[in-house]
Amino acid sequence: MNFSTLTFILCFSTLSTLGTLGADLQSHTQTFTPLIQQQVLMVGRLGLTETRPAVALGEKGPLLAPKITSVDGTETPYILYHRNGTRETLEILAEPKQRPVVLLKRPAGLEVAQTDLADPETIAKSQWFYHPTLSPSPVIGEPAAIVLDSKHPLEKEENNIFAVKIGSLKAGSPILDLQGHLVAITLPSRTQDKGKFSRALLFSRLVEDLEELQKIEPSPKAPPHFPTPQAPPLHPAVGLIINDTKQITYSVGGTIIREDGLILTKASELGPELTFQFQDQEYPAVLLATDSATDLAIVGVTGRKFPVITWSDHTTLKPGTLFHHRSLLSQNAPEMEEMNDTHFGTFNTKLPEHPMTIHHASRITSLGLVPEQLQNDLIISAIRAESPASKTGLRLGDRILKLNDQTISNRPSLLRFLEKKEVAQEVKLTVSRQDETLSFTLPLTSASLTPETTGITLNEPQTCVPSVVRGPFPLTIAHTLSLNSWDCGAPLLDLQNRAYGIHIAAITNTRSLTLPPPVIKDAIKRMMTSIAF
């Protein structure tokens, strides 16, 4: 097969400007997303791997964080996770029983952008809101995702309460206006809401319960008003691949990459007998090839000349870039249906092939010391008492150079080294102290930072049907579109229907992963070598 025949498969769009509708909202979101990310901190609690977004209130005020129930009901400390993987314990200032939040003492020297309070008079006029969310497994260096959300009508008005469209948000999470001012906190989900929206308590009401917040003055600056952008109709190169003899929700999206009927989709969702449903017609489909590295598959159909997807340049993505998605199925759909409800999401970050999470240290060996990242150096900031490291002659302030013969210059490289070792293995640690280079031999110990979680609770309504296979993948685009497992295989589209990639994993209602065009192109090359024409 001559691969030149496939060059048009991954052609890139030359369009560079957005349509008028939604462009202003996107521009504003791209401007404010990095600013709001600087306001958001990551907190957890000892003994748990879950993390929650927190904000620093006022110029010298406390940290406002969602309440996290300790693993055994004891007063275990809250933990502040820094983006470089280091962490520190936090002092509790107030923990009101009737509210799902906690006030924590701001650490001395903490550099974080402050969050002002919104003026209550401007909130009623607001239609759009931001709320920060964190990945279920945050990666070292990964910022919070800033979700763009809109107001949801309530059947019955409640004092000091309104609702946002995305359902089942974690209780106590901050909701901000389009200027980054704190508007409200989310309330616990109620069964009768069925996960269709999230209720929020106005911050002005929360202040009444917390004396520590009553001295913080609201900002009079009103957020701008933007109309709801109109998403384009369903992309003409997208259909549904149905697993015959199964319920329709065991289907998966399909993106046409060649006009003679080659369709790209998610491999792990496919059964032995397939049908491609496209523009109210059904075509018998055959699985032609799969790619284990990306969980992509190529499916073939015949019968007509098909429209083909057009790709855009993923390197132009900025945090806050808007995406849209129109699902072909609802969770209870008896057959394919184009949903009237359009989801909007924002680009967050690009994840490498093997991202290092902030919790890797809880599952690996330890040197018995605490390293702190200072620019490009790792400095020993603490040595655990009674550890082998405490008996070697290592000192606080020593700069780590190497472990064995491997150069160690940052926390991720240290973690990658340690996760491949076993407890009691001896390693040679080389450090720099003033003008000297010194080496020490010490046995590795077990890490004692964060124990494993003891279980998962599913007390809240599930608004996302996650993919069974969620990684690992090569480079992925992380974004906040709310997807279900059957939405994978469909393209990630901007407001002009240009595709930045293929959805490969639905994770939560504010976290999904997409493979960008270069990764897709490599996968297609691998798969095409096994297809005979």
φ and ψ at 123, to 5 degrees? -65, -40
CA separation, residue 331 to residues 198, 259, 336, 484 (Å): 19, 30, 11, 8
**pLDDT computed for residue 16 by the predictor:** 33
Element (H, E) at 372: strand 369-374
Model pTM score = 0.83
Q: Which fold does the domain 3-18+232-352+462-528 belong to in CATH?
A: Thrombin, subunit H (2.40.10)
- Largest Cα span, the chain: 76
Give the residue carrying structure tokens 């998962």. Answer: 456
**pLDDT computed for residue 335 by the predictor:** 55
Q: What is the pLDDT along the chain (533 residues), one digit of tens a residue?
A: 333 334 334 443 333 334 455 789 999 999 999 999 999 999 998 777 889 999 999 878 899 999 998 766 667 789 898 888 778 889 999 998 889 999 999 988 888 888 988 887 777 778 899 999 999 888 888 999 999 999 999 888 888 899 999 988 899 999 999 999 999 999 998 888 878 899 999 998 888 888 888 888 888 888 898 988 776 778 899 999 999 988 888 899 999 999 999 999 999 999 999 999 998 899 999 999 999 999 999 999 998 999 999 999 999 999 999 998 888 886 655 555 555 566 789 999 999 888 888 877 666 788 888 888 777 788 898 888 888 899 899 999 999 999 999 999 887 788 778 878 888 899 999 999 998 999 999 999 877 655 444 333 445 556 788 999 998 999 999 999 999 999 999 999 988 888 999 999 999 989 999 999 999 999 999 999 877 65
Cα angle vertex 487, ends 482, 491, to 5°?
95
**pLDDT computed for residue 77 by the predictor:** 86
Exposure b/e, 251-285, CB count within 10 A at least 16 = b: bbbbbbbbeebbbbbbbbbbeeebbbbbeeeebeb
Strand ranges inside 134-261, DSSP E: 145-152, 161-164, 174-176, 182-186, 198-202, 218-219, 238-243, 252-258
Q: What is the CATH number that goes with domain 24-219?
A: 2.40.10.120
Instruction: Give the C-alpha separation, 234 to 4, whole Å.
Output: 30
Nearest to 235, CA basis, from 409, 13, 49, 463: 13
Element (H, E) at 381: strand 377-383
Instruction: Give the C-alpha separation, 386 to 424, whole Å.
Output: 15
CATH 2.40.10.120 boundaries in the chain: 3-18+232-352+462-528, 24-219
Q: Which fold does the domain 360-446 belong to in CATH?
A: Pdz3 Domain (2.30.42)
Instruction: Report H helices in 139-201.
Output: none
CA separation, residue 176 to residues 119, 186, 210, 252, 521 (Å): 11, 11, 19, 35, 39
Strand ranges inside 159-197, DSSP E: 161-164, 174-176, 182-186
CB 373 within 8 A of CB 410: yes
